[in-house]
Amino acid sequence: MSDTGKPRLIILTGPTSVGKTGLSIRLASGLSGEIISADSMQVYRHMDIGTAKITGDQMRGIPHHLIDILEPTEEYNVARFKEEAQKAVSEISKRGKLPIIAGGTGFYIQALLYDIDFSDNAQTDYRRKLFDAAAEYGNEYLFEKLKEVDPKAASYLHANDVKRVTRALEFYKETGMRISEHNDNERKKEPIYDHAYFVLNMPREQLYNNIDRRVDDMIENGLVDEVRRLKDMGCTEDMVSMKGLGYKEILRFLSGDISLDEAVYTIKRDTRHFAKRQLTWLKRERDVIWINKDEFDNDDERIAEFIKEHLIKTGVYKE
């Protein structure tokens, strides 16, 4: 990679439960780096168990950014992430450290890397009508509409992601263009950083086993009590923070709508589906280096060494 004068950064992403957190710490330790979280849920305070948030001990002294910066009653979105992540990249670089973007929200990473413009965030009458329709007829009603006009976008969005489903429908009405086509065009833009983009992956069966174990651990470690505390704080199902996997299902259990067993089953199932959508998204990204953990015998030390060698070779990192 030539020295373009652009800020340098590395990206480490992959599906949920693949092991990004531990590897990111190892990388940051070996590369004099600081970590910027690209996770749409770990920004919230008081939401630790259900987000699998890294603990202070696990950080091993590595500075982390964009974790625990909001209350659950506040709204977080891609525009806010991009603004705050760009600021963090700049500050980390000025300190002579290497910014490491770590997390599984591919849309956030894309927005940062290609400086996608989100200036048009005004609430429109049509958007309000769509939200009202979702409230009256259910999320699946809107999702079916999206399938009709933009099946590609429907392949990587979830029916419960009402905000992004609504935005996709609104975009189509405003422009006559599918938002999936728009996103494909945005990917053709030149990145604003000198970067290396790594995607961590593992065999599907192993990944799904990891997901099931993680959900069981969350329940054992007190997810129900965590959600109960959030509910007591005034958090409701319509808040952005409560739409995250694990939280909405436990809220339904606490409201008496479903049993705990049903909640756990749904969390596991929907998390597996979410991991599949993450991989679908990442397979469309450009200049990505896929790292299959089983090819390294699931050894983070070997993977970190491979990444470091690549970074030195391409000039993203200089010893």
Residues of the chain with CATH 3.40.50.300: 8-116+192-314
Q: How many CA atoms lie within 13 A of 116 on its CB side?
A: 20
Distance CA 68, CA 46 (A): 8
What pLDDT score does 175 carry?
Answer: 86
What pLDDT score does 128 carry?
Answer: 80
Which pTM was predicted? 0.83
Mean pLDDT of the chain, nearest integer? 91
Look at residue 226 and tell me whether its pLDDT is greater than 70.
Answer: yes
Cα Rg of the chain (Å, integer): 20
Question: What is the CATH class of 8-116+192-314?
Answer: alpha beta
Band of the pLDDT at 146, cuts 50, 70, 90?
A: very high
Look at residue 34 and tell me whether its pLDDT is greater than 60.
Answer: yes
125-184 is a CATH 1.20.58.220 domain: no
Longest dimension (CA), the chain: 59
Average pLDDT (49-62) is 95
What pLDDT score does 309 carry?
Answer: 94
What pLDDT score does 124 carry?
Answer: 72
Residues of the chain with CATH 1.10.20.140: 125-184
Look at residue 221 and tell me whether its pLDDT is greater than 80.
Answer: yes
3-class secondary structure for 48-97?
Answer: CCCCCCCCHHHHCCCCEECCCCECCCCCCCHHHHHHHHHHHHHHHHHCCC
CA 180: distance to chain centroid? Answer: 18
Average pLDDT (129-158) is 87
Residue 196 in contact with residue 101, Cβ under 8 Å? no
Q: Which of 50-64, 119-133, 241-255, 256-270 has the lowest mean pLDDT?
A: 119-133
Q: Which of 26-30, 174-178, 207-211 has the lowest mean pLDDT?
A: 174-178
- Identity of residue 155: S
pLDDT per position as a tens digit, 270-301: 999 999 999 998 998 888 999 999 999 999 99
Band of the pLDDT at 121, cuts 50, 70, 90?
A: low
First-to-last alpha carbon distance for the chain, in angstroms, is 15
Distance CA 148, CA 314 (A): 43
Look at residue 1 and tell me whether its pLDDT is greater than 50.
Answer: no
Token pair 């690549």 is at which residue? Answer: 310
Distance CA 151, CA 19 (A): 31
pLDDT per position as a tens digit, 187-220: 677 899 999 999 999 999 999 999 999 999 999 9
Distance CA 84, CA 66 (A): 8
Query: Across the beta sheet with 288-292, what order do the strands follow?
Result: 64-65, 33-37, 98-102, 8-13, 194-201, 288-292
What pLDDT score does 2 carry?
Answer: 43
Nearest to 201 by CA among 55, 16, 66, 53: 16
Residue 146 in contact with residue 165, Cβ under 8 Å? yes
Distance CA 142, CA 59 (A): 41
Look at residue 184 and tell me whether its pLDDT is greater than 90.
Answer: no
Look at residue 4 and tell me whether its pLDDT is greater than 70.
Answer: no
